[in-house]
Amino acid sequence: MIYLTGVVVLQTETDAREFNVMLTLGCSALVMVSFVQFLLSPGYVLTVEKQAYIDSFTATLINRNSAGTLVGLTIILVVRQLWSACRDFRSRDIFAGVLFMPKSTDRSMTKIYFYMILFCALTVALFLTKSRGAIASTIFAALLLASLLVWLRLKRRYAGVKLARHIAGSLVVLAVLSVGATVLIGERVVFRATAIGSSEPRMCAMPGMFRALDANMILGSGAGTFKDVFATYRDPSCGLQGIWEKAHNTYLQSWIELGVMGPILIFAAMGWISFLLISSLKAAPRQRSYVAMGISSLALVAIHASVDFSLEIPGISGLFAAIIAISTSIAKKNLQCGRSDGSDFIAT
């Protein structure tokens, strides 16, 4: 309903841009307020005492993995806004602004600094969630977004050999960032794997989930019945404390509950959205950074859904639906416009 409402309400590009700014600032404020609260009182979620993940930042949520997805999507929103703020500047202009602060660009430079500081704060908050899946999927999505934005900008400014040279240089920079991110994530994964050892609950429970899948593969056990069905196949050696309400894998849980149609419906929806967004990148060059934002957000939640259940949390799925509504509403208008000669170009 959030997605459909967004597509209906966002009738113009101006509507979509304004709503995107509101969504970015709203999500950023939510994360930053809860982040300050975590630094001052880590044992509480707002006014409620934590029962789990006391050492991790969980924003206004209970689970750090869901909080990681929230922060990750917010980072994607902020990166897109930062890209727009920087569209008329080169790196030397930003350094010149730091040194001289030319009056003609005071307002634009202030926006750039604001989003840069916000991006750094959100990145710290993301790592303090200590969610391996959220951190890895966010880094991948951010690099994907950066790649798409750089490609769109270079494609508009250059052609032929110059385009190839600039793309090659950009790929080298992104490759270095990717290697650094991989080393950072790899070190964290090894550290947590060593600390947890073989007691990782999800790894122990996974064989039981596959047995439940084998018994309900075709028709499924019924929507919302996972916690009841899995109890039958749960290995007692994994510990009997607590009730497993989620499979920590959206695709696997949908398959167990809805049968083979579960993952088919999910992949069909994601496939249709991906096809729409990717197709619009080749159409009229209008607001394509919002389309790239949608592609990156979809990649983030699709990857993280394979190891956690963030997409099954209403607050997270609602935010994701709002972002996709912005992207697809602009993508549909791009496809309706078709290819243009660039005379009606609006900055990406």
Residue 60 corresponds to which amino acid?
A: T
Mean predicted confidence (pLDDT) in 244-264: 92
User: Measured between alpha carbons, how far is 306 from 291 in angstroms, rounded to an integer?
Assistant: 23
Kindly state whether residue 115 falls inside one of the protein's structural domains.
yes
Give the DSSP letter string of 6-69.
Answer: HHHH--SHHHHHHHHHHHHHHHHHHHHHHHHHHHH-TTEETTEEPSS-TTS--TTSS-HHHHHH
pLDDT of residue 338: 58
Task: Quick: pLDDT tens for 23-80.
Answer: 999 999 999 999 999 999 988 888 889 888 888 999 999 899 999 999 999 999 999 9
Task: Identify the residue with better confidence: 203 or 43.
Answer: 43
- With a cut of 70, say whether residue 245 has pLDDT above it: yes
Please state the pTM of the whole predicted model: 0.85
- With a cut of 50, say whether residue 228 has pLDDT above it: yes
Task: Quick: pLDDT tens for 71-125.
Answer: 999 999 999 999 888 875 655 555 555 555 454 455 677 888 899 999 999 999 9
pLDDT of residue 104: 47
By residue range, what is the domain housing residue 221? 2-337
CA angle 54, 320, 128 (to 5 degrees): 25
**Which residue's structure tokens are 């959100």?**
122
Kindly state whether residue 342 falls inside one of the protein's structural domains.
no
Kindly state whether residue 264 falls inside one of the protein's structural domains.
yes
Kindly state whether residue 148 falls inside one of the protein's structural domains.
yes
Residue 252, φ and ψ in degrees, nearest 5: -65, -45
Residue 346, φ and ψ in degrees, nearest 5: -115, 135
Q: Which three-class secondary structure state does DSSP give residue 340? A: coil
- Is residue 230 within 8 Å of residue 209, measured between CB atoms? yes
Kindly state whether residue 172 falls inside one of the protein's structural domains.
yes
Kindly state whether residue 167 falls inside one of the protein's structural domains.
yes
Burial 284-308 (b: 16+ CB within 10 A, else e): bbbbbbbbbbbbbbbbbbbbbbebb
Mean predicted confidence (pLDDT) in 243-258: 91
Residues 6+ apart with CB under 8 A from 111: 85
Kindly state whether residue 248 falls inside one of the protein's structural domains.
yes
Here the tokens at position 86 are 């920087």
Task: Identify the residue with better confidence: 339 or 323.
Answer: 323
Mean predicted confidence (pLDDT) in 162-185: 60
pLDDT of residue 293: 95
Helix (H) or strand (E) holding 192: helix 160-196
- Is residue 333 within 8 Å of residue 277, measured between CB atoms? no
Determine the distance from the C-alpha atom of residue 191 to the mean position of all C-alpha atoms in its chain, rounded to a whole number: 24
Residues 6+ apart with CB under 8 A from 40: none
Rounded to the nearest integer, the mean pLDDT of the chain is: 82
- With a cut of 70, say whether residue 334 has pLDDT above it: yes
Give the DSSP letter string of 210-272.
Answer: HHHHHHSTTT-S-TT-HHHHHHHH--GGG---S-----S-HHHHHHHHHTTHHHHHHHHHHHH
- With a cut of 50, say whether residue 346 has pLDDT above it: no
Kindly state whether residue 196 falls inside one of the protein's structural domains.
yes
Here the tokens at position 229 are 């069905």
| pLDDT band (50, 70, 90) for residue 244 | confident
> Taking the CB of residue 56, how many other CB atoms lie within 10 A of it?
18
pLDDT of residue 291: 92
Helix (H) or strand (E) holding 86: none
| pLDDT band (50, 70, 90) for residue 173 | low
- Which 3-state string (H, E, C) describes 109-148? HHHHHHHHHHHHHHHHHHHHCCCHHHHHHHHHHHHHHHHH
236 CB burial (10 A radius; 0-12, 13-18, 19+): exposed
Q: How many domains does the chain divide into?
A: 1
